[in-house]
Amino acid sequence: MDSRERLRRVRDARVGRLATVDGDGRPHLVPVCFALVGDLLYSAVDQKPKRGKRLRRLDNIAATGRASLLIDEYDEDWARLWWVRVDGGARLVDDPTEADRALTALIDKYPQYARQPPPGPVFAIEPHTWVGWPT
């Protein structure tokens, strides 16, 4: 898959799996909605039920500044399988203009967010590595 096709698949995908680790290296994996804006991937804490207000993904990003996002598609026809993993720096977005830009992209991608915008916080992943299959 060439880089344009990889970007298209990531841009159009509906869900990704966000991987973070805490300061002791313990992994944490959760499904997330996301949007690709320029060279950055954004996600935000939305209003779907959570176990609590303090989310491990946010603590892990604050502690390590790293994350991976795995985007994939499964099909019974294995010739149609693909995955892309984006590894990079991660940070909580504290600039209101950048957060608004990210939220606008998320609302544009997910109609559910137009009715119930994510209250935040917003986080960004700055890709360092894109890997995928098929290559």
Q: Which helix (H) or strand (E) holds 100?
A: helix 96-109
Alpha-carbon gap, residue 8 to 111, rounded angstroms = 19
**What pLDDT is stored for residue 12 in this prediction?**
96
Whether cis (ω within 30° of 0) applies to the bond prior to 134 is yes
DSSP E strands, 7-121: 16-21, 27-32, 35-37, 40-44, 66-73, 82-92
* Token pair of 107 as six digits: 């609302």
CATH value at residue 7: 2.30.110.10
Can you give the residue range of the structural domain that contains 118? 3-133
Give the CA distances from residue 6 to residues 1, 54, 84, 90, in Å, rounded to whole numbers and listed in that order.
Answer: 6, 33, 7, 20
Question: Are the C-beta atoms of residues 8 and 47 closer than 8 Å to each other?
Answer: no
The tens-digit pLDDT sequence of the chain (135 residues) is 888 999 999 999 999 999 999 999 999 999 999 999 999 999 999 887 666 557 999 999 999 999 999 999 999 999 999 999 999 999 999 999 999 999 999 999 999 999 999 998 999 999 999 999 997
Alpha-carbon gap, residue 17 to 30, rounded angstroms = 5
**What pLDDT is stored for residue 116 in this prediction?**
93
Indicate the number of domains in the chain.
1
